[in-house]
Structure 1
Amino acid sequence: MPKNIVVLVSGGGTNLQALIDAQHRGEIVGGTITAVISSRPDAYALERAKAAGIPGYVVARRDFPGNREMTQALVARLRELKADLVVLAGFMHILTEEMVRAYPNAILNVHPALIPSFCGKGAYGLHVHEMALAYGVKVTGATVHFVNEEADGGPIVLQKAVEIREGDTPEVLQHRVMEEAEWKLLPLAVSLFCQGRLSVEGRCVHILPQA
């Protein structure tokens, strides 16, 4: 049985598009994107889902008094949708422990840096690239990791390095990291999960050979 992949979004949905494109190319083995849930009704990601024929839903942050109540509503919707894997693709809200308890080692997130660098509280979106440039590192990249209770603290699945070039702006660097790392790593990690090829031992994720 193919696994049901549900993608959580908040904005433009470039990582969602990378997943959709990979699915169309047959690169996501053993799973199908069956739904997209947005935290904003006006997120362009919902248009991307619609164009791909994927059902879209809204669980809006503004409709709930706090992150806990929103997380509980998300978990309820994910259960309705029979999600096997939850993918955070530019989802801009902190999820409380109910989500991790409901889907242990079954939530993937992509972060635009090489964790443990430039991650955690306040490290999201363009801020991550501003931090990397301000620090003066020569290499940055992207990380796909399982989600746990600690922000950007879950076991690392895949990483890819991206060169920082002279004259880079945060915007230029952001696009290069997306193009060279995020859009490649996320579909691969999703496919590995759906094939049952990821084994988690403590902080270490082992990639198992194909059966």
Structure 2
Amino acid sequence: MQKIAVCVSGGGTNLQTIIDAVSDGTIRNTEIAVVISNKENAYALERASKAGIPARCISPKSYESRDSFADAMLDTLEEYNVDLVVLAGYLVIVPARMIEKYHNRIINIHPSLIPAHCGMGYYGLKVHESVLAMGNKVTGATVHFVDEKADHGPILLQKAVEVQEGDTPEILQRRVMEQAEWKILPKAIDLIGAGKVTVKDGIAHISE
């Protein structure tokens, strides 16, 4: 049974998708061991509590240094025997020591087709504003393993979404969530839990 930690910063729509997918068997062989947010008023923490999942607020602002913050994160992950860390709308740069310890065991969902519209400063509606400003006809979402660079690391899954005439950033954001994010994030967690994912030479491979 793979134990996952889900890290969130806001409302937790992707978290809810994961909770529901574990509950209905879409994600197999997986338990959500803990939900961690950097914001104590994040609705995602309430979602976790309602589902009976341990919820913690660990904010970088509460610690004197990045090292102390990293210690708190690592201690919590060890406390709950976490195998996989899932960043689901987590707007914090993951400490380097955490990335090192959980090498190829941290995944992130990003609301574009990486390497387009990603990196520092590209989050939330800013991603969709950029897509529309460029006149892209297709966008989507990406699940990737996390490394030391923002929105970088081996790509695990991607799904394309059509950009439609008259889209606003808000409308496009919702379509990308519904048609891509909420489908590929549970699938990625399930594939990893089934032992079907390997990373070689910086490229993620999925076995049948």
TM-score with structure 1 setting the length: 0.96
- The offset of 1:51, in angstroms, is 1.1
Give identity over the alignment, percent: 53
- The offset of 1:69, in angstroms, is 3.1
- 1:19 matched to which residue of 2? 18
For residues 91 and 175 of structure 1, the distance between their equivalents in structure 2, rounded to whole angstroms, comes to 18
Extract unaligned runs of 5+ from structure 1.
none
- 2:8 matched to which residue of 1? 9
- The offset of 1:75, in angstroms, is 1.2
SS of the residue corresponding to residue 182 of structure 2 reads helix
For residues 178 and 188 of structure 2, the distance between their equivalents in structure 1, rounded to whole angstroms, comes to 16
SS of the residue corresponding to residue 118 of structure 1 reads coil
| Matching residue's letter, 2:118 | C
- 1:56 matched to which residue of 2? 55
- The offset of 1:40, in angstroms, is 1.0
- 2:150 matched to which residue of 1? 151
- 2:202 matched to which residue of 1? 203
1:163 partnered with 2:140: no
Question: Contact between 1:40 and 1:61, CA under 8 Å: does it hold in 2?
Answer: no
For residues 171 and 202 of structure 2, the distance between their equivalents in structure 1, rounded to whole angstroms, comes to 32
- 2:68 matched to which residue of 1? 69
- 2:84 matched to which residue of 1? 85
- The offset of 1:78, in angstroms, is 0.6
- The offset of 1:67, in angstroms, is 3.9
TM-score with structure 2 setting the length: 0.97
For residues 67 and 109 of structure 1, the distance between their equivalents in structure 2, rounded to whole angstroms, comes to 20
Question: Contact between 1:68 and 1:95, CA under 8 Å: does it hold in 2?
Answer: no
- 1:172 matched to which residue of 2? 171
SS of the residue corresponding to residue 100 of structure 2 reads helix
Alpha carbons of structure 1 residues 40 and 202: separation in structure 2 relative to 1, 3 Å:
same
For residues 97 and 205 of structure 2, the distance between their equivalents in structure 1, rounded to whole angstroms, comes to 26
RMSD after superposition? 1.0
- 1:130 matched to which residue of 2? 129
Alpha carbons of structure 1 residues 166 and 158: separation in structure 2 relative to 1, 3 Å:
same
- The offset of 1:58, in angstroms, is 1.3
- Post-superposition CA distance 1:96-123 (Å, at most 9, x none): 2111111010001000000000000101
| Matching residue's letter, 1:41 | E
- Tell which deviates more after alignment, 113-122 or 91-100: 91-100
- Post-superposition CA distance 1:124-146 (Å, at most 9, x none): 11100001000111000000000
- The offset of 1:76, in angstroms, is 1.5
- Post-superposition CA distance 1:142-190 (Å, at most 9, x none): 0000001111111000000000000000000000000000000000000
